[in-house]
Amino acid sequence: MKDHFITGIDIGTYHVKVAIARLPKSARDRAIPEIIGTGYAESRGLKNGYILQTADVARSIKSALAQAEKAAGVTIKRAHVAIGSIGLEELYARGEVIPARADSEITDADVDKVGTDSEERIADRIPNRTVLHSIPLRYTVDGHEVLGRPQGMRGTKLEVDTLFITTFEQHVADLIAAVEAVGIFVEDVIASPLAASFVMLSKSQKRAGCVLVNIGAETTSIVVFEDSTPISLKIFPMGSADLTNDIALGLKIPLEEAEKIKRGGMTAVTYSKKQLEEIIDNRLATTCSLIDTHLKKIKRDGLLPAGAIFTGGGSNIFRLTEVAKRVLSLPTRIATLDLGNKQAKVKDASWAVAYGLCMWGAADQEDATAIGVVRKTKHSFLTWLQQFLP
């Protein structure tokens, strides 16, 4: 039996990262994919996660892919791709149906129908957008919440509250076109914050309740978990590049020097430590205030026992945890990337999305973790698009 290879492509504003994992056919269920090759390239043709020049993006993907294939010693034809632009939005809707069976027992068909009903209720609210993920948050039977699955229960009315993650159809189409321009078939498109959560959060953190904050170059994303289920997702148009700009303007120094200072590197520039701390604190406080405002909106501010976990390329910013703890009133920590075994190819937490895509590809719909919950999503847009592909 041949090994199964899984590829994740994270197309960020600054870098394209490709991870190739191997899942041995002989391995037991729930085996952790082994990262056997990685590659990255500078991103071109993107702004805030949006594709402006498809040809430029395709060249960046091709370069990163070639590195990963060379390291892994395999040729890749299929991949899972992440999408993380500021166009990602969340919507909530409630669906309801009357069980079809004469004895009122709820079946799989009823569960499918109630999910479809909730999606139909948002159709007129998402022009030019498509649903990436539909995540059932809670089921109720005759007004009583179901603790577990509703199949097999009896009742006169089944209801579901669903979280929908949506994005612009045009952006998904451009993303797929850029990847397939280099000869790679797109198996799936996943929201970047969810992909990162598959490897950056533990089961206990997701069960207790937490928020994963991914600080990128031009965007900051959050995904909130409670009872092992993602209950909210948000993207903010602000990232670590904004802090670099603040330092450059505040200290009146070149951007290259500002970037070194932000990362704690050595520099010949002399500056006031107090002034630098004020600049950093102000920008981090602004970012954390946006997160806190969103948590207040969903009534989870100060109520997530596992706290705020920071990841992404901007998570190594000086004083981040201090400011976040003060503004969010939550326990805070920097996430560490641990795939459960010692793998030479594993890099830093900025690779969380690419690795998470590999975890996604290795899981199935029966997985009891959050991956399994999200994998039950109907990918209506991909299904529609693929009928026109050769």
Least confident of 97-106, 255-264, 296-305: 255-264
Predicted pLDDT at 317: 85
Cα–Cα distance for residue pair 325/297, rounded to 1 Å: 19
User: What pLDDT is attached to residue 148?
Assistant: 84
* Whether CATH 3.30.420.40 fits 4-86+169-194+349-386: yes
Tell me, what's the pLDDT at 377?
53
Given this model, what pLDDT does residue 267 score?
Answer: 80
The amino acid at residue 113 is K
User: Looking at 59-73, 173-187, 261-275, 364-378, which range is the least confident one?
Assistant: 364-378
Question: 273-296 pLDDT, tens per residue?
Answer: 899 999 999 999 999 999 999 999
Length of the chain: 390
* Mean pLDDT across 179-202: 93
Write down the pLDDT at residue 339: 60
Question: In the chain, pLDDT over 90 holds for what percent of residues?
Answer: 71
104 residue type, one letter: S
Q: What pLDDT sits at residue 210?
A: 98
- Ordered by start, the domain boundaries in the chain are 4-86+169-194+349-386, 89-168, 203-334
pLDDT, residue 387, reads 39
- On whether the CB atoms of residues 381 and 172 are closer than 8 A, the answer is yes
pLDDT grade, residue 374 (50/70/90)?
low
Q: Yes or no: say if 310 and 332 are a contact pair by the CB < 8 Å rule.
A: yes
Where does the chain show beta strands of DSSP type E? 4-11, 15-23, 34-42, 46-47, 50-51, 78-83, 89-97, 129-141, 144-145, 158-168, 185-191, 210-215, 220-226, 229-236, 308-311, 332-334
* pLDDT at residue 11 tops 70: yes
Task: Return the CATH number of 89-168, one of 3.30.70.270, 3.30.1490.110, 3.30.413.10, 1.10.730.10.
Answer: 3.30.1490.110
pLDDT on residue 26: 63
In our burial notation (b when 16+ CB lie closer than 10 A, e otherwise), range 275-287 reads ebeebbbebbebb
**Structure confidence by residue, pLDDT tens digits, 217-270:** 888 999 999 999 999 999 999 999 999 999 999 999 999 999 888 877 778 888
Provide the percentage of residues in the chain whose pLDDT is more than 70.
88
Residue 174 has pLDDT above 60, yes or no: yes
In this predicted structure, which of 178-187, 265-274, 352-361 has the lowest mean pLDDT?
A: 265-274
Q: Does the structure show a pLDDT above 80 at 29?
A: no
pLDDT reading at 363 higher than 80? no
Pick the CATH number of 203-334 from 3.40.50.300, 3.60.15.10, 3.30.420.40, 1.10.260.40: 3.30.420.40
Residue 27 pLDDT: 54
User: For 127-155, what is each residue's pLDDT tens digit?
Assistant: 999 999 999 999 999 999 998 899 999 99
pTM of the model: 0.88
Tell me whether domains 4-86+169-194+349-386 and 203-334 share a fold: yes
